[in-house]
Amino acid sequence: MPLKWKTSSPASWKFPVPVLKTSRSSPLSPAYISLVEEEEPHMKVTLGSSDMGLSAHLQASKAGTTRFFTSNTHSSVVLQGFDQLRVEGLLCDVTLVPGDGDEVFPVHRAMMASASDYFKAMFTGGMKEQDLMCIKLHGVNKTGLKKIIDFIYTAKLSLNMDNLQDTLEAASFLQILPVLDFCKVFLISGVSLENCVEVGRIANTYNLTEVDKYVNNFILKNFPALLSTGEFVKLPFERLAFVLSSNSLKHCTELELFKAACRWLRYEEPRMECAAKLMKNIRFPLMTPQDLINYVQTVDFMRTDNTCVNLLLEASNYQMMPYMQPVMQSERTAIRSDSTHLVTLGGVLRQQLVVSKELRMYDEKAHEWRSLAPMDAPRYQHGIAVIGNFLYVVGGQSNYDTKGKTAVDTVFRFDPRYNKWMQVASLNEKRTFFHLSALKGHLYAVGGRNAAGELGGITHDTFQKELMCFDPDTDKWTQKAPMTTVRGLHCMCTVGDKLYVIGGNHFRGTSDYDDVLSCEYYSPTLDQWTPIAAMLRGQSDVGVAVFENKIYVVGGYSWNNRCMVEIVQKYDPEKDEWHKVFDLPEASLPLFSKCGSFFLRLALDFVACNAEPGSAGLTVQRGLAASQLLAGGNGVELGRLVEKQSPGVQLGQEDDQSQEKAGPPDVEDNRATREGCCRSQLVNTRNLFSP
């Protein structure tokens, strides 16, 4: 039987342990243990009272018993012993002298070397100080040196604003990392409006990155309050420039920031040399023309400094050409925000079959939907895309019908900075049931129907291949090279500078449809379509995502097999190869008609399946399970979307009964049965609700 040790009462002692003698430096008192037979080969026991800190780890085997003992108090006992030796001047073998005085500190070489790489190198690296009995430290004053020595011998440190910098200087010079960490905690815990500038200066002086970052965040969060104190004008130029350039700066208008910058510049005459550099961080294009005229152009240096004059010209040109604003984006035209919001617009209320014109955003902090400026008219089956942080709504229908008889040609652009809509150039023809994507600053509309029921999408049940392009520079729609393959109910996405069209189906010529396995991409530069490798299995009306420049096609419907499919296929553009990734837990059709699905990382102004690469990005997040990839969903996980759906806007999911049948959906009714959904995007709208 394996053996272990355990404590016992005096009446059952089997094996006496010699009495442990106590002393000034030892908290241990006599204890006894007994050896008994147990089945467990490992055990931890505590001897004596619970606060003694003496424990034993025992291992037993048939070959014998090995006992491991650990004292939780030994380290502190040894430390106390060394400190007592130092206080009594016993066994000290070196004397340290600070650089600012004659006070001496007798210490033990081994103790100092064990706590500091600086002293370890000094005493063991062959330096001349290795054999000296008295060493003067020119980079440390007596206050800092005393704090360091006391900490090494006691593991205790007392800090206040009077001794902090002396302690920091000594800890940095002598490389005492724990003391540096304590100083960082002390500084961070005490940051306030009254001392944030001074704490920031200390952080820069001693290269305390964590403290410097905390001070920046504190100032960004409390900038309006800081403006009302005398500390604001004491900010160094570098920190003020960082704050004024940050997207995280909240609760201040650009005009208020401009006035604050002017106040800082005028506080000291030499600062006026920094005017141009500081003004580059003010976002003049976001000001109103009235503010620019009344408050900005009246400032002397804004009229005389060439850089400042150019900044005003940039703002003027930006405001004079509203149609071109999406392609005139710069750091000074971006919203000051580091958050995104889910936005839904239009769609059909399933129960009433009423088309909505509402634009709503989800406030994640308040856990509620808020209304934004509504569209000019109800919309559904419209296209949505993003260029330069502007949301475009293109075409669609004003009333609910499956024939496209109420198709519209109007195009509107939403500006989240001002919560306003603006009409831009209309389509060349009324269009609905089409796909819209953004690429290289242009919109691309593929397929669809007009009010007569035909246009590059379906003509008497035959799909077409037309492509229309919108150029914000000219505010015009033009026809581009058509696809090489007739297809419908396909998916589209962008990778790099190419627009990929994948899968779908085409009319067989009788009354049925076949899967289209062929795929192709469009190059805007060449205005040319190029065939790529065919899919492994047919998929129509699918969800599509781009992750690490690979295209993932999810779920959908197979017309050849007359069933919904669960397959997830991946396309590698570099290798021009398709691979099966895995199967979904169950087959599904997309929740959103003609929209993509993807994993997302909430880090950009707009995050959407059809967002322009580079400006909005098609970003994804690692590690989400396949079941979270919503086939056809537009920018959110299934769980998040269902949890956050807007009251009165019903998600267009097919009912359970229709999914169980899994029959082939009608070309028209397939979409109509899911039109309860509204289009959705993730858009930066923080400034609309900031106090």
Per-residue confidence band for 382, with pLDDT thresholds at 50, 70 and 90: confident
Q: Which two tokens stand for residue 51?
A: 């606060």
User: Quick check: 413 and 425 in contact, CB under 8 A?
Assistant: no
Please name which of 215, 249, 213 lies closest in space to residue 337, comparing C-alpha atoms.
249
pLDDT band at 463 (very low <50, low <70, confident <90, very high): low
Question: How high is the pLDDT of residue 115?
Answer: 93
Q: Cβ atoms within 10 A of the Cβ of 184, count?
A: 18
pLDDT tens digit sequence for 223-247: 999 999 999 999 999 999 999 999 8
> Helices (DSSP H) in 49-99: which residue ranges?
74-88
Q: One-letter amino acid identity for 148?
A: I
Torsion of CA 307, 309, 311, 314, to 10 degrees: -130
Cα distance between residue 40 and residue 58, in whole Å: 10
Please give the pLDDT value at position 260.
Answer: 96
Mean pLDDT of all residues in 435-462: 70
Top mean pLDDT of 29-43, 132-146, 502-516 is at 132-146
pLDDT band at 453, cuts 50/70/90?
A: low
Q: What amino acid occupies position 85?
A: L
What is residue 45's predicted lDDT score, i.e. its pLDDT?
52
Q: What is the pLDDT of residue 53?
A: 53
Model pLDDT, residue 516: 85
Across 652-676, average pLDDT = 37
Query: Looking at residue 676, what is its pLDDT?
Result: 38
Query: Looking at the predicted structure, is the pLDDT value of residue 457 above 50?
Result: no
DSSP of 42-77? EEEEE-SSTTS-EEEEEEEETTEEEEEEEESSHHHH
Q: Which of 83 and 632 is assigned the larger pLDDT?
A: 83
CB 444 within 8 A of CB 437: yes
Q: What is the CA radius of gyration of the chain?
A: 36
Residue boundaries of the structural domains of the chain = 72-190, 340-456, 481-608
Q: Which residue has the higher pLDDT, 33 or 618?
A: 33
What integer pLDDT is reported at residue 54 of this predicted model?
A: 53
**Distance (Å, whole) CA 678 – CA 662:** 24
The DSSP result for 398-445, as a single string, is SS--SS-TTBB--EEEEETTTTEEEEEPPPSS-BBS-EEEEETTEEEE
Q: Return the structure tokens found at 502.
A: 């994948």
488 forms beta bridges with 505
The C-alpha atoms of residue 573 and residue 578 are separated, in whole angstroms, by 9
d(CA 71, CA 546): 57
Mean predicted confidence (pLDDT) in 147-171: 94
Which residues share a beta bridge with 552?
545, 570
What is the C-alpha separation between 409 and 314, in angstroms, rounded?
33
What does the pLDDT read at residue 587? 59
Residue 588 has a pLDDT of: 54
Q: What beta strand segments (E) does 577-652 contain?
A: 577-583, 606-607
Query: 28 pLDDT band (50/70/90 cuts)?
Result: very low
Instruction: State the alpha helices, DSSP H only, in 252-299.
Output: 254-267, 275-279, 289-291
Question: Quick check: do 340-456 and 481-608 share a fold?
Answer: yes
Please tell me the distance from the alpha carbon of residue 320 to that of residue 360, in angstroms, as a whole number: 29
Quick: pLDDT tens for 580-629: 888 877 655 554 433 322 222 222 333 333 344 433 332 222 222 222 22
Rounded mean pLDDT, 38-62: 50
The contacts of residue 478 (CB under 8 Å, 6+ apart) are 468, 469, 471
Phi, psi of 415 (to 5 degrees): -110, 105
The pLDDT value recorded for residue 617 is 30
Q: Per CATH, which fold does 72-190 belong to?
A: Potassium Channel Kv1.1; Chain A (3.30.710)
Q: What is the dihedral of CA 266, 272, 276, 279, to 10 degrees?
A: -10
- At 563, the pLDDT band (50, 70, 90 cuts) reads confident
4 forms beta bridges with 36
| Rounded Cα distance, 378 and 481, in Å | 32
- For 385, 387, 558, 603, the CA distances from 615, given in Å and listed in that order, are 12, 7, 34, 12
Of the candidates 328, 327, 377, 341, which has an alpha carbon nearest to the alpha carbon of residue 606? Answer: 341
Task: Give the ranges where 52-107 is alpha helix by DSSP (H).
Answer: 74-88
Q: Classify domain 340-456 by CATH number.
A: 2.120.10.80
Length of the chain: 691
Per DSSP, 293 falls in state I
**Mean pLDDT, rounded, for 286-310:** 93
Segment 27-40 mean pLDDT: 42
pTM of the model: 0.66
Per-residue pLDDT, averaged over 169-197, amounts to 95
What pLDDT was estimated at residue 521? 93
* Residues 6 or more apart whose Cβ sits within 8 Å of residue 296: 255, 258, 284, 287, 302, 312
Q: Can you point out the beta strands (E) in 574-669? A: 577-583, 606-607
The domain 481-608 having CATH identifier 1.10.1740.10: the answer here is: no
pLDDT average, residue stretch 446-471: 67
Q: How confident is the model at residue 270 (pLDDT cuts 50, 70, 90)?
A: very high
Min mean pLDDT across 38-47, 304-313, 587-596 is at 587-596
Sheet harboring 54-61: ordered strands across?
42-46, 54-61, 64-71
Residue labelled with tokens 């002598």: 174
Higher-pLDDT residue of 420, 32: 420
Q: What confidence tens digit (pLDDT) does each residue in 359-378 have?
A: 888 777 888 888 888 988 88
Give the DSSP letter of residue 371. E
The more confident residue out of 497 and 454 is 497
In the structure, what pLDDT confidence band is assigned to residue 35 with cuts at 50, 70 and 90?
very low
Percentage, residues of the chain above pLDDT 90: 40
